[in-house]
Amino acid sequence: MPKAGITYGPRIKAPDYDQIAEDAKKQALKSLGLERPEDLVAKARPDDLVAKAARILEQADAEMALHLDDRDQALAHLWFYDPRLGLAKTAGLSTMGYRHAVAKLAYGDKQHALPEVASNEALAGIGQDLGIRRVEGAEKKLVEAASIVYAARIRRNVAVRYMQEAVLALSLPPYDWSPEKIAEHAGVHRDLIYKQRRAARTRHGL
């Protein structure tokens, strides 16, 4: 919502996040060795699937770790120093999500309220006092980083769902693998396997 007394620059055109999501889902399925979601039942071996899903998680987490700060730094710059409307849409976030991102960067607490001021100068002054970094080319950097983070999160979500199914299958006959054995096979910490098995059991009412 526009703040009284604040002058806003032009809106930044948002990437086509629907297309990014569709492409990311297809890429994740391909990396899992599946062409369609229903191929899970017909084609996928759970031991193979859990290992492939783990690699997708690893790559997605690395991409998000690499680009999330760039996204949030650009967001904060555009909130404090060069205010724009529609930043949530530009970043591929909900309104609450983008406010949480700015608040976490500015205050170290995503629940912290963002300042209410009556001028661009006052807003910029608060940004400087908080140590918000000025980002040259913030518009372009926001779009680029947000697109990468969005796609990585979609791929991760797809991989998690299939990992859960694979972990559950490996936990049952004829495999009867322990979480420790699954974790060793997938190259992940056992806590992740316990978490995914619990989620899968809950979803299937087990």
pLDDT score for 186: 96
Distance in angstroms (rounded) separating the CA atoms of residues 6 and 122 = 10
125 contacts: CB under 8 Å, gap ≥ 6: none
Residue 4 has pLDDT above 80, yes or no: no
What's the per-residue H, E or C state across 15-46? CCHHHHHHHHHHHHHHHCCCCCCCHHHHCCCH
pLDDT score for 5: 79
Position 37 confidence tier, pLDDT thresholds 50, 70, 90: low
For the stretch 166-177, pLDDT in tens is 999 999 999 999
Quick one: residue 29, left, alpha or beta (phi over 0 = left, psi -120 to 50 = alpha)? alpha
**Lowest-confidence segment of 2-16, 73-87, 189-203 by average pLDDT:** 2-16
For the stretch 188-202, pLDDT in tens is 999 999 999 999 999
* Whether the Cβ atoms of residue 80 and residue 110 lie closer than 8 Å to each other: no
The tally of CA atoms less than 13 A away on the side-chain side of residue 26 is 6
